[in-house]
Every structure is written in structure tokens, then in C-alpha cells.
């Protein structure tokens, strides 16, 4: 075995929440030489790229932040319950400065490939500036929702106006004043953007492929007394969210929806509806995700709310989801979303009612045989979730095997953090980990800390490689699928199920463990305590 000194101990790809903390932990805790490679011009990841109108976090701000820096937790003041994108970006810039991170981040550089060399046990990472660097460890901190999905509509190049994807909005913003605008998509992003765009645009046409169940966000200033109480209780909060199901202070009602009377159910639903945010989704009856009958009660409640809010009964019916159970797609949070369809300048074109998008034309969008003339098209069409950003790195493991080929039928991982045949590669919040089903910073901190401890243990034991065994990987994949198959989630054509993109093999992408995030953390800790069970260390 040739002994070669790598350029870096670790290369981290991405400088969002994950990459920033990964750098901090490896450099400042373990003393490693680390290089972060980031495509954007500054830190932020998701919060750097997603700057569409109305972009804000859907988790409460007091838990949508790092918890490793206790002093910062106390010092930082969020302006609202759910901060807007610029405020989160300011927070991340502040963290970068406070921990002196930027000196180890190479910005404006995209990773175009990476290969594991079995002779040296090192990764060689290639970037779009033509450079190559070597490292012992390769950490993909590329985000779960960062690979933009731009559908290949017929005639896309013909349009004479402007087309923007929400996750690639111009930095200087877009002036919609006096413009006829189309928004394609009605996911969580569109639900935030549509009310904002409708306020400015002369006319807005919304192209809906699938209706979504939206619940009120109830954003606003947080009572200063509550802010203080939370700051005084941060140790308790951190402990609770780390051990919780979804990385949030949300807990199921510990009984079946079928056990309550209609009046009791209504009262429980009202409480969660009034609380706003993810309460209705994640603090509801414990059988809501398992029993269609229980789920129907929740769906019926929201359907009644939609009918009560949207004045035109035909539009209300189009906005009511058909064909998937409540909560089986990502919960969008609504601030004036349903009300927006009462405005005279807003038109809803529903694929099921009026026909789907056939083509982009010179002047707009053709759907259901009709032409809709617009000046600007906003694609709120989402992402090639979880697997997309990792496949886009074009990684090659042992024997030159490509990750794209290994994942051609969906992701295969051990714990969502490691891939058999790809030694010393770690995927932060990768597919088959809790990731997008949690409050992301909680999942990110858990992965970063686990990887840091793992590398520390390897260094101390004089090991140079760690890699998942194919058996452990197969078992994990079977477990991921077995657990989700007990729920209603596989019945929805969601991006969780890889169903948002034509041709993407249907597979459940995150991990929904029987004990949620807390249980997953315990499983990872157990694996480490048992000498990295399921991995081969050499
Ligand atoms: P989503 O949730 O994937 O939403 C994308 C929307 O675009 C959704 O309504 C899609 O319909 C629609 N879509 C996607 N492709 C097409 C095509 N080809 N034609 C018409 N309509 C299409 O992405 P978001 O950005 O809203 O949210 C992603 C996550 O970011 C969010 O959940 C948060 O975690 C942050 P579909 O429902 O697939 O039928």
C-alpha cells in the first residue's frame, strides 16, 4: 500500500447548515485539515439559493438553528416565528464569521466528480475550475433539496418572456408589477410564493397538477415572555428535540382518532389549527398516518376549512386534494394562500379539471387545449430530492463503480450516511436517513456529530478506511421500506416517494423510523458503541 499524503484530511461538499458545521467540527474539534467546496458565492446552501418571494422557513425559528453554540442560542434574536430567507442567510453569515469558517471554504466552485483510489485509499475530487484535490474523507453536505427539477416542457426555449425556477431566483429580485405571471406548481414553495406574487402582478395564473392540504402558518412576532422562557430553557428544549420524533416539540395524541367523539375530535383539530405551523400535521392523532379512517377525519376538517375560505365553490373543489391521504405529502404552510384564490386577478388552472400543461409557447403556456398568455413564468416545480444532489457529484467508488449506477433503481445506503463500495464517503442527511422528515438542523447536527466521532475513533484506532458492508446496507434498505409500508405514505405520488419526476424509480427516499429521529439517533449511537457494527474498518 502506497502511503501518500493527501492535500486535505477531509473535503466537504457544500457550505450550508451541514457543511458549515462539518467544517467547524472536523477542523476545530479534531484539528483536521479541511477544505469545503461550495458552488455559491457565499455560505447558506438552501438559504442562499431559494430567494423567491415569500421564502421562509416552515419550522419555528427557536429550533431552526444550530444548538452546538449555546451562547449563540441565547444571543441571537429572531424577528418572527418563521424567519424569512434573508434573515436565515444573515444568521448563517454571522455563524461563519463567529467561527471563522470562510477561510477554509472555496466558493464559486462546483464539484464535477470524485473517485476513490484503492491504491492510496484517498478520494480525488474534481471541480469545474479544472482542479483536483485529494482527501482521506469525502463528506457530501449537499442538502436534500438542492438539485432543481426543471421539467422538460415542450417548447421551453420558444418563450419570449422570462422563466425563473424558485430555487434559482435572480438576486436582485423580479418586479412583477403590471405583469401577467404564471406559477407552475402548488407545493410548499408555491404556497409561500403565490400570495406574494398575486399582490404585485397584474394577473396571476396558477397551474396546479396536484392539490395540497395546506394548514395555517400563523406567522408573526413571538411574545417576548415566550422568547425569554425558551432562552431560559434551551438545555431542556435541545434535549427534547434531539430525542423527539420529528426534531420538533410536537407529540402525537396518544390515542386513536376513532376513540374520540366527533365533538372531541373537532376540539383537538381546532387547537392544532389555531396553533398553526406543523401542529396539525405532527401533533395529531397517533393513527393518522396509519389508518385511512383516522386520516379521513383530518382530511375532512381541512376540506371544510377550504370550502369556508374560498368563495367560488368550483375553485374550492379544485383546491381540495383527491387521491392521496392527508399528511402523506410535505405539509405546506399557508399565509393567505387559499384567500388568494378569491382575488379577481388570480386564476387557477387545475390539470384534473382543465387539462395539464402541454407546451410552453412563444407567448405563454398551453394547457388543456387553451393558451394562457403571460409575461413571466415561475417554475415552483421542486427538486430531484435526496438522491439527485448526490448523484450529481458523479462519484466513483471501488473498482470505478459509479454511484449513479449503484442507485439506478433508488438509493442503497447504510443508515443513510454511508454507501457500500464507497469507503470514507459520508452523506449528511442523505437518503434513507430521517432528514426531510425532521426539523433539518436537528438531523444535520446528529449526522455531523456522528461522523466527527467516527473519524475521531478511526484516527485513534489507526484505521484508514470505513465502509458499509453490503449485508448491513441491504438490511437497512429492507428496514426503511418495511417501516414505511405500514403507513399511508407509499400511497401518495410525493417527492418522498420519488414520484414528482417522470422516470425517477419509485422509492421512499427518507427514513421514517418507528421511534422517529430520537430512535434513529439511538440506533446510530448503538452502531458506534458496538465498534461500528455493519461497517468494515481497515
Ligand atoms: P414540491 O413540493 O415538489 O412541489 C412542486 C410542485 O410542482 C408540485 O405541485 C408538483 O406537482 C408541481 N410539478 C412538478 N413537476 C411538474 C410538471 N412537470 N408539471 C406540472 N407541475 C409540476 O416542491 P417545492 O419547491 O414546493 O417544495 C420542496 C420542499 O422545499 C418543501 O417540501 C420544503 O421541504 C422545502 P405534483 O404535486 O408533483 O403533482
Same domain, 300 and 361: no
pLDDT tens digits along 183-223: 999 999 999 999 999 999 999 999 999 999 999 999 999 99
421 conformational bin, left if phi > 0, alpha if psi -120 to 50, beta if neither: left
Amino acid 133: pLDDT:
98
Residue after which a domain boundary falls, among 326, 342, 359: 326
264 pLDDT above the threshold of 60: yes
Range of 284's domain?
A: 241-326
What is the per-residue pLDDT for 503?
A: 96
Query: Does residue 314 sit in the same domain as residue 355?
Result: no
Question: String of b and e for 70-91 (b: at least 16 CB within 10 Å)?
Answer: eebbeebebeebbbbbebbbeb
Other CB atoms within 10 A of residue 313 CB: 9
Helix/strand/coil (H/E/C) assignment for every residue in 489-526: HHHCCCCCCCCCCCCCCCCCCCCCCCCHHHHHHHHHHH
Q: Last residue of some domain: 341, 356, 382?
A: 382
Residue 47 forms part of a structural domain: yes
- Whether residue 434 is contained in a domain is answered as yes
Assign residue 220 a region: left if phi > 0, alpha if psi is -120 to 50, beta otherwise?
left
Q: 173-188, pLDDT tens digit by residue? A: 999 999 999 999 999 9
**For residue 7, pLDDT beyond 60:** yes
- Is 446 in contact with 242 (CB distance < 8 Å)? yes
* Ligand 1 geometric centre to CA of 45 (Å): 19
Strand 162-165 and strand 346-350: the pairing is unpaired
pLDDT tens for 400-452 read 999 999 999 999 999 999 999 999 999 999 999 999 999 999 999 999 999 99
Say yes or no to pLDDT of 282 above 80.
Answer: yes
Q: Which residue has the cell 427518507?
A: 510
Which residues face 373 on adjacent strands?
364
Helices 17-24 and 440-461, packing angle to 10 deg: 30
Residue 12 and residue 141 in one domain: yes
Residues 34 and 165 in one domain: no
Q: Which residues contact 471 (CB under 8 A, 6 or more apart)?
A: 534
Residue nearest to atom 25 of ligand 1 (CA): 382
The one-character DSSP state at 222 is P
Asked if pLDDT for residue 2 goes beyond 60, the answer is no
What is the four-CA torsion angle of 232, 234, 235, 238, rounded to 10 degrees? 160
- Same domain? For 116 and 253 the reply is no
Q: At 4, is the pLDDT very low, low, confident or very high (cuts 50, 70, 90)?
A: confident
- End-to-end, the C-alpha distance of the chain in Å comes to 12
Distance 192 CA to ligand 1 centre (A): 12
Cβ(381) – ligand 1 distance below 6 Å: yes
Question: In angstroms, rounded to a whole number, what is the distance separating the alpha carbons of residues 200 and 81?
Answer: 24
179-196 per-residue burial string, b: 16 or more CB within 10 A, e: under 16: bbbbbbbbbbbbbbbbbb
How buried is 223 (Cβ within 10 angstroms: 0-12 exposed, 13-18 middle, 19+ buried)?
A: exposed
Q: What is the pLDDT of residues 105-164, one digit of tens each?
A: 999 999 999 999 999 999 999 999 999 999 999 999 999 999 999 999 999 999 999 999
303 lines ligand 1 (CB under 6 A): no
For ligand 1, whether the C-beta of 382 sits within 6 Å is yes
Is 184 part of any domain? yes
Is 106 inside a domain boundary?
A: yes
Could you tell me if residue 224 is inside a domain?
A: no
Q: What is the pLDDT of residues 343-371, one digit of tens each?
A: 999 999 999 999 999 999 999 999 999 99
CA distance 160 to 155: 11
Query: What is the arithmetic mean of pLDDT over 477-487?
Result: 98
Q: Please indicate whether residue 25, judged by its CB atom, sits closer than 6 Å to ligand 1.
A: no
Q: What percent of the chain has pLDDT over 70?
A: 99
418 and 531: one domain? Answer: yes
Q: Is the CB of 145 under 6 A from ligand 1?
A: yes
474 CA → ligand 1 middle, Å: 30
Spatial distance between the Cα atoms of 337 and 94, rounded to a whole number of angstroms = 32
Residue with CA at minimum distance from ligand 1 atom 13: 381
* Residue 435 backbone phi and psi in degrees, to 5: 30, -110
In this structure, are residues 24 and 141 in contact, taking their beta carbons and an 8 Å threshold? no
Q: Do 78 and 182 belong to one domain?
A: no
For the chain, what is the domain count?
A: 3
Question: Is the distance from CB of 50 to CB of 187 less than 8 angstroms?
Answer: no
Same structural domain, 339 and 355: yes
Which residues have a Cβ under 8 Å from the Cβ of 308 and sit 6 or more positions away?
Answer: none
Same structural domain, 357 and 391: no
Residue at 220 is within a domain: no
State whether 273 and 261 are in the same domain: yes
Looking up residue 369, the CATH number of its domain turns out to be 3.50.50.60
Q: Does 96 fall in a domain?
A: yes
Residue 338 within a domain: yes
Q: Tell me which of 298, 326, 354 is where a domain ends.
A: 326
Q: Which residue has the cell 420519488?
A: 498
- Beta carbons within 10 angstroms of residue 115's beta carbon: 18
Percentage of the chain surpassing pLDDT 90? 99
| Average pLDDT estimate for 233-256 | 97
Q: Are both 52 and 137 inside the same structural domain?
A: yes
Could you tell me the distance, in angstroms and rounded to a whole number, from the CA of residue 324 to the centre of ligand 1? 15
Q: Are residues 488 and 533 in the same domain?
A: yes
Q: How many CB atoms neighbour CB 370 within 10 A?
A: 11
**CB-based contacts of 105: which residues, under 8 Å, 6+ apart?**
15, 19, 23, 36, 37, 38, 43, 96
Amino acid at each position: 500500500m502506497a502511503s501518500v499524503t493527501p492535500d486535505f484530511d477531509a473535503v466537504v461538499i457544500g457550505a450550508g447548515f451541514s457543511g458549515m458545521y462539518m467544517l467547524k467540527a472536523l477542523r476545530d474539534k479534531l484539528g483536521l485539515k479541511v477544505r469545503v467546496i461550495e458552488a455559491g458565492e457565499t455560505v447558506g446552501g438552501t438559504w442562499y439559493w431559494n430567494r423567491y418571494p415569500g421564502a421562509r422557513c416552515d419550522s419555528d425559528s427557536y429550533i431552526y438553528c444550530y444548538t452546538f453554540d449555546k451562547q449563540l442560542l441565547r444571543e441571537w434574536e429572531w424577528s418572527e416565528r418563521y424567519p424569512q430567507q434573508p434573515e436565515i442567510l444573515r444568521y448563517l453569515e454571522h455563524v461563519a464569521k463567529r467561527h471563522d469558517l470562510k477561510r477554509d471554504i472555496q466558493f464559486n466552485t462546483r464539484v464535477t466528480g470524485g473517485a476513490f483510489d484503492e491504491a492510496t485509499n484517498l478520494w480525488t475530487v474534481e471541480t469545474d475550475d479544472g482542479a483536483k484535490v485529494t482527501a482521506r474523507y469525502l463528506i457530501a453536505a449537499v442538502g436534500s433539496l438542492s438539485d432543481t427539477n426543471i421539467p422538460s416542457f415542450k417548447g421551453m426555449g420558444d418563450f419570449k418572456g422570462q422563466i425563473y425556477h424558485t430555487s434559482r431566483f435572480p438576486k436582485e429580485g423580479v418586479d412583477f408589477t403590471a405583469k401577467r405571471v404564471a406559477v407552475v406548481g402548488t407545493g410548499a414553495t408555491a404556497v409561500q410564493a403565490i400570495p406574494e406574487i398575486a399582490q404585485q402582478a397584474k394577473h396571476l395564473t396558477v397551474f396546479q397538477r396536484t392539490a395540497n392540504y395546506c394548514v395555517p402558518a400563523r406567522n408573526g412576532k413571538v411574545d417576548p415572555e415566550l422568547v425569554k422562557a425558551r432562552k431560559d430553557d434551551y438545555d431542556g428544549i435541545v434535549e427534547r428535540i434531539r430525542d423527539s420524533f420529528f426534531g420538533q416539540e410536537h407529540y402525537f395524541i396518544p390515542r386513536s382518532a376513532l376513540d374520540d367523539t366527533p365533538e372531541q375530535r373537532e376540539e383537538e383539530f381546532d387547537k392544532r389549527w389555531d396553533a398553526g405551523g406543523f401542529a396539525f400535521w405532527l401533533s395529531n392523532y397517533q393513527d393518522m398516518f396509519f389508518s385511512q379512517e383516522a386520516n379521513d377525519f383530518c382530511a375532512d376538517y381541512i376540506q371544510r376549512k377550504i370550502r369556508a375560505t374560498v368563495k367560488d365553490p368550483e375553485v374550492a373543489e379544485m383546491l381540495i386534494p383527491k387521491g392521496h391521504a392527508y399528511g402523506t405529502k410535505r405539509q405546506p404552510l399557508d399565509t393567505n394562500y387559499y384567500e388568494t384564490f378569491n382575488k379577481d386577478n388570480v386564476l387557477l388552472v387545475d390539470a384534473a379539471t382543465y387539462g395539464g400543461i402541454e407546451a410552453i409557447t412563444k407567448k405563454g403556456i398551453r394547457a388543456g387545449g387553451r393558451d394562457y398568455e403571460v409575461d413571466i413564468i415561475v417554475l415552483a416545480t421542486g427538486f430531484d430530492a435526496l438522491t439527485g444532489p448526490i448523484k450529481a457529484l458523479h462519484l466513483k467508488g471501488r473498482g470505478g463503480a459509479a454511484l449513479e449506477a449503484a442507485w439506478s433503481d433508488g438509493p442503497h445506503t447504510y443508515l443513510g450516511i454511508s454507501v457500500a463500495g464507497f469507503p470514507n464517503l459520508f452523506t449528511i442527511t442523505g437518503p434513507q436517513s430521517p432528514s426531510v422528515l425532521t426539523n433539518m438542523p436537528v438531523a444535520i447536527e446528529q449526522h455531523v456529530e456522528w461522523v466527527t466521532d467516527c473519524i475521531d475513533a478511526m484516527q485513534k484506532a489507526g484505521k484508514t478506511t470505513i465502509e458499509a458492508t453490503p449485508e448491513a446496507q441491504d438490511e437497512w434498505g429492507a428496514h426503511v421500506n418495511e417501516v414505511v409500508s405500514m403507513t399511508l405514505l407509499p400511497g401518495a405520488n410525493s417527492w418522498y416517494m420519488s414520484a414528482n419526476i417522470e422516470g425517477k424509480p419509485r422509492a421512499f427516499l427518507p427514513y421514517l423510523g418507528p421511534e422517529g429521529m430520537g430512535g434513529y439517533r439511538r440506533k446510530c449511537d448503538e452502531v458506534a458503541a458496538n465498534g461500528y457494527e455493519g461497517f468494515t474498518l481497515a
